[in-house]
Structure 1
Amino acid sequence: MSDAQAFAALHKLTPVQAMQYLAGRTERTLTYSWQDLWQEEHAQQFTVSRLARADLLADLQRLITEAVDGDLSRSGFELDAKQLLSRAGWWGEKHVLDPVSGERQVTRFDPARLKLIFDTNTRMAYAAGQWERIQRTKRTHPYLRYVTAADDRVRPAHRAWNGVTLPVDDHFWRSHMPPNGWRCRCRVVAVNQRDYDRGTTPGGRPMRKTAVDLGEREWVNKRTGVVERVPVGVDPGFGYNPGVARAEGVQKAASDKLAALSFDVATKLRDDLEGAP
Structure 2
Amino acid sequence: MMDDIESIISLNKEMTFEEAVDYFKGKIPITMKQFYELSAEYQTLAFTVSGYTKVQVLKKFHDELLRAIKDGETMQSFRDKMNEFLEIEGYEGITNFQADNIFRTNTQAAYQVGHYRQMTDPDVLKLRPYWIYDAVNDTHTRPSHLAMDGKVFPADSPVWDVWYPPNGFRCRCTVRSLSRRQVEQQNLTIENEIPKAAQLQDGRFVNVIPDPRFQTNPAKVPFTPDLKGYPETLVKAYNKQVKGKK
* Secondary structure of the corresponding residue to residue 175 of structure 2: strand
- Structure-2 residue corresponding to 1:112: 97
Give yes or no for the alignment of 1:152 onto 2:139.
yes
Q: 2:118 aligns with which of 116, 128, 133?
A: 133
- 1: CA distance between counterparts of 2:72 and 2:115? 20
1:69 Cα deviation from its structure 2 partner: 1.1
Q: 2:217 aligns with which of 204, 224, 241?
A: 241
Measured against aligned partners, the alpha-carbon deviations of 1:190-217 in whole angstroms (never above 9, x if no partner) come to 111221233x1xxxxx42321562329x
Higher normalized helix content (fraction of residues): 2
- Structure-2 residue corresponding to 1:87: 88
Give yes or no for the alignment of 1:215 onto 2:211.
no
Q: CA contact under 8 A between 1:163 and 1:208: conserved in structure 2? A: no
* Secondary structure of the corresponding residue to residue 132 of structure 2: strand
* Secondary structure of the corresponding residue to residue 178 of structure 1: coil
Measured against aligned partners, the alpha-carbon deviations of 1:95-120 in whole angstroms (never above 9, x if no partner) come to xxxxxxxxxxxxxx422212211111
Count residues with an aligned counterpart: 204
Higher relative contact order (CA 8 A, sep 6+): 2
* Structure 1 pair 18–174 and aligned structure 2 pair: CA distance change class (3 A): same
* Secondary structure of the corresponding residue to residue 146 of structure 1: strand
Measured against aligned partners, the alpha-carbon deviations of 1:39-78 in whole angstroms (never above 9, x if no partner) come to 3323322211231111111111111011111252211101
Q: What letter matches 1:122 in structure 2?
A: T
110-119 vs 39-48, which deviates more?
39-48
* Structure 1 pair 45–141 and aligned structure 2 pair: CA distance change class (3 A): same
Normalising by structure 2, report the TM-score.
0.74
Give yes or no for the alignment of 1:50 onto 2:31.
no
- Structure-1 residue corresponding to 2:200: none
Higher normalized strand content (fraction of residues): 1
Q: CA contact under 8 A between 2:105 and 2:169: conserved in structure 1? A: yes
* Structure 1 pair 45–157 and aligned structure 2 pair: CA distance change class (3 A): closer
Q: What letter matches 1:111 in structure 2?
A: N
Give yes or no for the alignment of 1:19 onto 2:21.
yes
Q: CA contact under 8 A between 1:178 and 1:184: conserved in structure 2? A: yes
Structure 1: runs of 5 or more not aligned: 1-12, 93-108, 201-205, 217-230, 257-277
* Structure 1 pair 152–49 and aligned structure 2 pair: CA distance change class (3 A): closer
Q: What letter matches 1:113 in structure 2?
A: Q
Normalising by structure 1, report the TM-score.
0.67
Q: CA contact under 8 A between 1:146 and 1:161: conserved in structure 2? A: yes
Q: 2:172 aligns with which of 185, 189, 201?
A: 185
* Secondary structure of the corresponding residue to residue 49 of structure 1: coil
- Structure-2 residue corresponding to 1:275: none
- Identity fraction in percent: 25
Measured against aligned partners, the alpha-carbon deviations of 1:2-26 in whole angstroms (never above 9, x if no partner) come to xxxxxxxxxxx5410101101221x
Q: CA contact under 8 A between 1:174 and 1:240: conserved in structure 2? A: yes
**Structural RMSD (CA):** 2.4
Larger radius of gyration: 1
- 2: CA distance between counterparts of 1:91 and 1:32? 21
* Secondary structure of the corresponding residue to residue 166 of structure 1: strand
- 1: CA distance between counterparts of 2:182 and 2:168? 29
* Structure 1 pair 49–255 and aligned structure 2 pair: CA distance change class (3 A): closer
- Structure-2 residue corresponding to 1:228: none
